[in-house]
Structure 1
Amino acid sequence: MASDETSDDWYDDDSLWVDFAPAMFSGTRAETVAELVRTAPLLDFPPGSRVLDLCCGPGLFLVPLAARGYRVTGVDLSPAMLERAEAACRAADAGPADVTLVREDMLTYTAPDAYDVILNVFTSFGYFEDADDNFQVLRNAWQSLAPGGRLLVDVMGKEVLAGWIGRPQAVDLPDGSYVVQRDTVLDSWRRLRTDWTLVRGESARTASIRSFLYSAAELHDLFVAAGFADVECFGDFDGGPYDQSSRRLIVRGVKK
């Protein structure tokens, strides 16, 4: 299990995930994910595949993956998000035989040869201040995959971000509050800081998320350096090319 000691790392602040969950993990997004898992070619795995959702959050992918007959594990550092993932599984009657939840840090979590597929979605890669730590996450994934297993990482690619970054964006929430998101590119396009402001009545809560930015070429080369073969870049889970019309960057590699 991960340490319970206090941390200054932004991602280790459970209140951030709780407060901003309605914007990050909305009901609409959950419906979109469920449809994606049912239909997307890149999420079509052999029956009974052992699938790890690394940084699973509140479990948006877990239930639809289990519904497809995969043996699913969700790993996350946040106790609050794991509680929500457990509640989502319970509500969908996805019990321990279908989904296993583990509290661990992706920087240190390994389970040698335990999985056929590892997913890391919703731009959950690149959180660490040290580039070598982010690379270690890829190495951990390589070690945790069985031979022939696949890693899929889903991020906001540098090229995609460059096409729309600009004015702050506002998201209205069901309870009448709203979130304002402001993105700032740092360190000559190596990093991104996203500032979130939650406005509820007369109060405001702010938080900042910092992560590395990757182009398709950069993330592709990191996969190769981590030991992956047959590395490919896609613009969505439908398997389309990563090009000027893409809204996401998905990189897939195979452990030979």
Structure 2
Amino acid sequence: MSEQPQKKEWFDEWFDTIYYHILYKNRNYTEAAQFLDNLIAYFGISKDAKILDLACGKGRHAIYLNERGFEVTGVDLSEQNIVYAKTKETGSLHFDIHDMRDVYRPESFDYVFNLFTSFGYFDSIEENLDVIRATVASLKPGGKLLIDFLNPYVVINNLVEEEDKTIDNIHFKISREYTDDQYIIKNIIVDDHGQHYEYMEKVKAIRRTDFLNYFEANGLIVLDLFGDYHLAPYEKEKSDRLIFVIQKPA
């Protein structure tokens, strides 16, 4: 009896489409560069440091870090993202297809950056813990991990339920909901000149205390908690972001 093909998870399907990149084509690259500049200054990253960009997408953060003179590896589950990113490779910039639930290279990196809410895609706590364990395993002793996540309190309280966008003559109808007291879901209906497609984004609304439990379970040290890309202190009811700086024990 032949084995049935495994059903793709939402992120396998959505992140590999051209529509994902069209919808988000106007991301603020200036803001991203300023954030990375702030991180470089905050960490005092040396030129011989090795950086892993975890869930790198098409590699915009990794490319910028490499342009600043650092050795960077970007990994992402999306084959199409990595096909594109590989066209930007240099002698000190590399990209690979990789599932963040698995260890990439044991004790190989001084810093791991997980940026732009590239966490919380999985349903189970165990899978989220797998991501933390695998990431920690990729860090050298004393290495540092940065997780840049949405602030669930602010997102849920300011949820825009419906939105219509037309980009490159393609229409996107977007609806958002907070379900089961744990998921922020975005449903996307695409109308591409009469061809219709439906996709979804689902992020677990992980609270600060949940993250702290993840880190404690892995013996990690929380160094800082910021609330925006200027590295202002986190405020539960006001901050746009939930940005953790964590260290692996030496």
Bin the TM-score by the shorter chain: 0.7 to 0.9
Task: Select which of 162, 169, 182 maps to 1:168.
Answer: 162
| CA displacement, residues 156-192 of structure 1 (integer Å, 9 cap, x when unaligned) | 121121231132233442x13232332211222x222
2:246 pairs with 1:253? yes
Work out the CA distance in 2 between the residues paired with 1:31 and 1:198. 28
In structure 2, relative to structure 1, the CA distance for the partners of 1:132 and 1:172 (3 Å cut) is same
Q: Where do 1:60-71 residues align within 5 Å?
A: 60-71=60-71
> Helix, strand or coil for the counterpart of 2:213?
helix
Which residue is equivalent to 1:225?
217
Per-residue deviation, residues 40-97 of structure 1 (Å, max 9, x unmatched): 545752222211011111111011110122110011111100012123x2xxxx51x1
Give the residue type in structure 2 aligned to 1:120. Answer: N
- CA offset at residue 138 of structure 1? 0.4
**Which residue number in structure 1 is paired with residue 23 of structure 2?**
23
2:14–2:200 contact (8 Å) kept in structure 1: no
Question: Cα distance, 1:6 vs. partner?
Answer: 4.7
1:179 corresponds to which of 153, 169, 172:
172
User: Alpha-carbon deviation of 1:36?
Assistant: 2.8
> What SS does structure 2 have at the residue aligned with 1:74?
strand
Residue identity opposite 1:249 in structure 2: L
Residue pair 1:20, 1:198 contacting (<8 A) in 2 also: no
Q: Give percent identity, aligned residues only.
A: 24
**SS of alignment partner, residue 169 of structure 2:** coil
Counterparts in 2 of 1:160 and 1:44: CA distance versus 1, 3 Å:
farther
Q: Which residue of 2 aligns with 1:59?
A: 59
Residue in 2 that maps onto 1:153? 147
Q: What is the aligned partner in structure 2 of residue 79 from structure 1?
A: 79
Contact 2:107 2:140 in 1 (8 A): yes
Distance in 1 (CA, whole Å) between partners of 2:160 and 2:46 is 42
Gaps of 5+ in 1: none
After TM superposition, give the deviation of residue 203 of structure 1 in Å. Answer: 3.1
Change over 3 Å in CA distance of 1:16–1:180 after alignment to 2: farther
Instruction: Give, as a single letter, the amino acid of the residue that structure 1 aligns with 2:224.
Output: E
| Equivalent residue letter for 1:204 | H
**Per-residue deviation, 1:204:** 2.9
Which sits farther off after the overlay, 164-173 or 143-152? 164-173
Query: Does the 8 Å contact 1:220/1:231 carry over to 2?
Result: no
Give the alignment's Cα RMSD to 1 decimal.
2.1
Shift, 1:221, TM fit: 2.4
* Counterpart residue type for residue 49 of structure 1: A
1:142 aligns with one of 133, 136, 144: 136
Does the 8 Å contact 2:190/2:197 carry over to 1? yes
